A and B are shown apart, each in its own frame.
Chain A
Amino acid sequence: MPTSPSDPSSQEPSVPGPVVPGPAGLGRALPGSADCGPAVPDLAVVGAGPAGLAAAVTAARLGLRVALLDAGERPGGQFYRRPAPGLGAVRPESLHHGWAAFAAREAALRTHESAGRITYFPAHHVWTVVPDGGRWTLHAVAGPEERSVSVGARAVLLATGAYERQLPFPGWTLPGVVGAGGAQAMLKGGLVLPGKRVVVAGSGPLLLAVAGSLAAAGAAVPAVVEAASYTAYAGRLPDLLRNPGKLAEGATYGGALLRHGVRLLTRHAVTEAHGRDRVEAVTVARLGGDWRPLPGTGRRIPCDALAVGHGLVPQLELATALGCATRSGEDGTVALELDAGQRTSVPGIWSAGETGGIGGAQLALAEGELAAFSVAGRPAPAALVRRRSRLRAFAGAMAAAHRPGEGWTGWLREDTDVCRCEEVPAGRILEATRDLGARDARTVKLLTRAGMGWCQGRMCGPAVAALAGETSSAAGAAPDRRPLSCPVPLRHLAELPQHTD
């Protein structure tokens, strides 16, 4: 999700000066106080994307001692993804909006790191956070050699971001079909195009950004196929008008697409990908108001790649394992319930960015900073608070407009694989709900193995929940529970310290 390059309030001040923490916040020993031995960090931040990075450098500036753990090799997360140094990219920023906001924070991270205020742990995948005698212990799998690492902290900020929502369709497992976010990542991280002629499809503002990047990098984009209608935004006009930066950004994308001759088809979806060894064409059909494909409206568009995604899903497993309360988002996903200070319902655990509801990098930056003030027990600047509210409202409007309609299952066939890890077709899932008494995604999983494979349901979870009728229930979808947020070598578990728990 894009940030506006022109917004001064998202910039980290260039000289990070330490500030004495206020009295509230952590409510425990202040950094540098009488604790003996190597001090336990005041704050552990999980995730070095926009929210986590902003939180870490702001917290350090406010005088907290910070541990920053991130699964990636370099800071930036999914959004500020860059080519590996070996690829010799001269201007990685050319693929990014809001690069300056990131660059300033990355520089601040390095400054705080060398001053010993931030300990940065790249390539550390945190698999669980557990209470440990009044503080928290974070257990991580580190590096390609899968070392076992534990980090203690007085408070934890979860900035674990989001992953792409995929809705299956016939042919979606063909080579050449990639995630829209994946296509963007290929471009940003490896300067690789998924094909020469790439259809971009699904739903959400990311599609326009992806199409723009692909076209700018030289791919032909015969169409951007958006399932929602942009007129759906009209109902939330005030929220949109309060976010001129976001509108300008939309106009920028629109202009870029026009320049490259890209057609935007709204209320349409790719209902099938065709091809033998890889995708050769897609069928695009008109959708009814509930996203049900309208019979007789399909037409083929030749292409050699398809970049498809239906928005993002908050990545919550660490938070739900801790028992943090959740809410149903306007886009049909489950997000964390957070207060004005970015606190979760579990004392000592904060969260910022996409975990509180999908809202983009700008919002993530603002929330990361807010969370840092809150953890440090200091009042947040009024402008920052206003900015966050404004961006949250915009995110809500966007989420509502791109919420998948229930009719999308109309483009599935009985033999369409829904769970690709375990190769479970839609027909088996329908059998489980119709004949075998499954009324939720958990039971579908138990009866069909959908979601039990390597990705642990990140890919098929939203689709299985929809087929199980969960998203249409009054209570909304249940949050994913993955007590281990990534695969953990058995040896790590066996060698955990005895005193744990």
Chain B
Amino acid sequence: MPKRSSLDAVIVGAGVVGAACAYYATRAGLRVAVIDRGSVAGGTTGAGEGNLLVSDKEAGPELDLALLSAGLWRELAAALPHEIEYEDKGGLVVAPDEASLEALRSFAKGQRAAGVTAVEAGAGDLRELEPHLAPGLAGGFHYPQDAQVQPAQAAARLLAASAAEGALVHLGEEVTGLVVERGTVRGVRTRTRELLAPAVVNAAGTWGGRIAELAGTTLPVLPRRGFVLVTEPLPRVVRHKVYAADYIADVASGSAALQSSAVVEGTPSGPVLIGATRERVGFDRSLSVAALRRLASQAAALFPVLADVRVLRTYHGFRPYLPDHLPAIGPDPRVPGLLHACGHEGAGIGLAPATGVLIAAALSGAEPPLDPAPFKPDRPFGREPGPQGQQP
């Protein structure tokens, strides 16, 4: 097999992060292969809502990554087919009372310093931005940079665009081992063959810990379950991504107990999506009635008109998170030849392009557009309690 000479990298995982890595690596002139045991978008990508958010991130490295990504998504919206349903609809974070509005103000202040556009909306402005919002809210912030894509389409079109430029795509083929020579990763092994390359990119999302293990190292990626409710198709009753202020606290939280605050939004095809809960229960696929209750009651509290619509379906996914809630991006100094691009928790769709650009830069030796140090895969992770879950 001539693979040794022809491939520059093997990317494990055909979710949106793996697809974005392939896209930017291919554009950097590298020859890559993407391999996944299932379909494109078969894991967390396919269970996501397609949030491209800056509004929920406090000033810091993740926000920098999100801002870089927001710009890249705008470019991608022009370059990729319209089926990715990119929509720069903006986000609206509402505060039920004066105290949470004050908390939002100081949160937004830090974000503005980092380059986020955050416009305070008074109680009257809220009704103008979202006519169906419940009365009595104290106010909120409008984030015009928040946007949305259809995540499965986004991953599929990124991958198809890479394939058109020469990337190889091997779906339905599971990586069963890594080829390691004298401590250096040289490729991946499947049931039927080896794919050799000087670099292997771990973009296996929630299953990223297992790929690290196959390489003889560790990455403490854990699943965090989330439910989404999907209503019957409705006329446009929700215009932005709307959520309550406590969502921001949830994202940064380390608690294993159920937390949720409904993010409510309309979709181009009509249904309203209501997400998302965050629970650490391992890979538990059973229905959580408590999660559905919270999502539904919070959505109805934000938009009373939704109380009388029907929920057609619910689905769940497992967000891949690392203990400090930052992704692992870049070369793993412990295992030469291994790079990581996983652990994006609930922000993988939004952060995928910036991750792809950082990985492409690491592979080609180019200057990265931002400092990747905070995402170093071998940074110290404190231990935290919580069920690990069996990897299915």
Contact = CB atoms under 8 A, between A and B. Distances in A.
Interface of A: 128, 130, 139, 321-323, 422, 432, 435-440, 442-443, 446-447, 449, 452, 454, 456, 482-484, 487-496, 498, 500-501
B312 interface: yes
Nearest to B159: A437
Contacts of A483: 287, 313-316
A438 B159 CA distance: 12
Contacts of B153: 446-447
A454 B297 contact: no
A286 B292 CA distance: 50
A494 B289 contact: no
Contacts of A482: 313
A495 B293 CA distance: 7
A319 to B, nearest CB: 12
Q: Max chain A CB contacts within 10 Å: which of B271, B293, B308?
A: B293
Interface string B295-334: 1110110000011111111111000000000000000000
Contacts of B169: 437
Contacts of B308: 489-491
B46 A446 contact: yes
Contacts of B291: 501
Nearest to A493: B296
Contact of B309 (A128, A422, A442, A490): A490
Contact of A500 (B152, B156, B290, B300): B290
B311 A494 contact: no
B287 A128 contact: yes
B371 interface: no
Interface of B: 14, 38-42, 46, 152-153, 156-157, 159-160, 169, 171-172, 229, 231-232, 269, 271, 285-293, 295-297, 299-300, 306-316
A443 B41 contact: yes
B42 A490 contact: no
B300 A494 contact: yes
B281 to A, nearest CB: 11
A445 to B, nearest CB: 9
A143 to B, nearest CB: 15
Contacts, number: 129
Nearest to B286: A323
7 cross-chain pairs, A with B, having the tightest CB-CB distances, nearest first:
A437-B40, A493-B296, A446-B152, A501-B290, A443-B39, A494-B297, A487-B310
Contacts of B293: 493-496, 498, 500
27 contacts: A321-B286, A439-B172, A442-B39, A442-B46, A443-B41, A443-B42, A443-B46, A446-B152, A447-B152, A454-B232, A482-B313, A483-B315, A487-B232, A487-B310, A489-B310, A490-B296, A490-B307, A491-B300, A492-B296, A493-B296, A494-B296, A494-B299, A495-B293, A496-B290, A496-B296, A500-B290, A501-B291
A482 B312 CA distance: 9
Given A437-B14, A496-B293, A490 B312 contact: no
Contacts of A128: 287, 289
A437 B43 CA distance: 13
A160 B5 CA distance: 58
A487 B312 contact: yes
A128 to B, nearest CB: 6
A439 B231 contact: no
A440 B156 CA distance: 14
Given A452-B269, A494-B300, A494-B307, 14 more contacts: A128-B287, A321-B286, A437-B41, A438-B40, A439-B39, A439-B42, A443-B46, A452-B313, A483-B315, A487-B232, A490-B307, A494-B296, A498-B293, A500-B293
Contacts of A438: 39-40, 156
B289 A130 contact: yes
A436 B310 contact: no
Contacts of A494: 293, 296-297, 299-300, 307
Contacts of A323: 285-286
B41 A490 contact: no
